[in-house]
Amino acid sequence: MEQQRGIGESVKQSIIGTIRGTGEVLNAVTDTVTGSLSTALRGAGNVGQALTGAVSDVARGVIQGTSEVGGDLGAAAKGAVIGTLRGTKEAGGAAIDTIGATVENLVKTTAEVGGDVGSAARQAVEGTLHGAKSIGINAFDAAGAAAGGVVKAVAQTGGDVAKAAKSAVEGAISGAKDIGVDAAEAASAAASGALRAAGDIGGEAVEQVKRAATGMISGVKVVVKEPFRK
């Protein structure tokens, strides 16, 4: 636990220094997170056990550090997901397993520091697709995991889960176009992930998310396969 607290603070301080020095956020965060996480996980006896705590702590450190210097939190969220996926792969961990916890903590911490949650959600999901392509994991599975993390985070902070789910789908569409995969399939995967998370929350969340995250979004028709209706 002590080591995990240490990595979050270390990432935060490194990002503060780099952004102050260069003014650039996306690459600064991507490179810092990749290196820090890879090194920390290689030093851990059991990568699997260390993973969730470490990535959660790194995500919080990224947003806190970027916020402290007035940097773009959306770009920081995007860089953090890409860096987490790369760093985890370098250390031999199961990168797909890190996505939900990473995105959840990025979005939650953005809300805590008063940042734009929609932008963080959108860019975190976009970054998930970029990161997935760069390390060779399934981009659609990754988009679903990321969108689920967005919805969980917003539910915990008392935000608008429907709006957040739509932002996640928009990020999936944008990321899919960037990396050259089917945008409708990525959007459907993200909407499905958001709905699964909404199902865990219960109440009105499923219907709210379904209304917001399907239909025409960013010029793409988003359709979800139906295991969600009770």
Residue 77 is which amino acid?
Answer: A
Contacts with 162 (C-beta within 8 Å, 6 or more apart), sequence order: 208, 209, 211, 212, 213
B/e letters for 24-61, b = 16+ CB within 10 Å, e = fewer, are ebbebbbbbbbbbbbebbeebeebeebbbbbbbbbbbb
Dist. CA 139–CA 209, nearest whole Å:
21
- Write down the residue that tokens 């608008």 correspond to: 160
Dist. CA 210–CA 162, nearest whole Å:
8
- For 207, other C-beta atoms within 10 Å of its C-beta total 14
C-alpha angle with apex 70: 65 to 71, nearest 5 degrees? Answer: 75
Residue 103 is which amino acid?
Answer: V
Dist. CA 220–CA 230, nearest whole Å:
27
Count CA atoms closer than 13 A to 66's CA, side-chain side.
Answer: 33
Q: Return per-residue pLDDT of the chain as tens, 230 residues.
A: 344 458 999 999 999 999 999 889 999 999 999 999 998 888 766 666 778 889 999 999 999 999 999 999 999 999 999 999 999 999 888 889 899 999 999 999 999 999 999 999 999 999 999 999 999 999 999 999 999 999 999 999 999 999 999 999 999 999 999 999 999 999 999 999 999 999 999 888 999 999 999 999 999 999 987 554 43
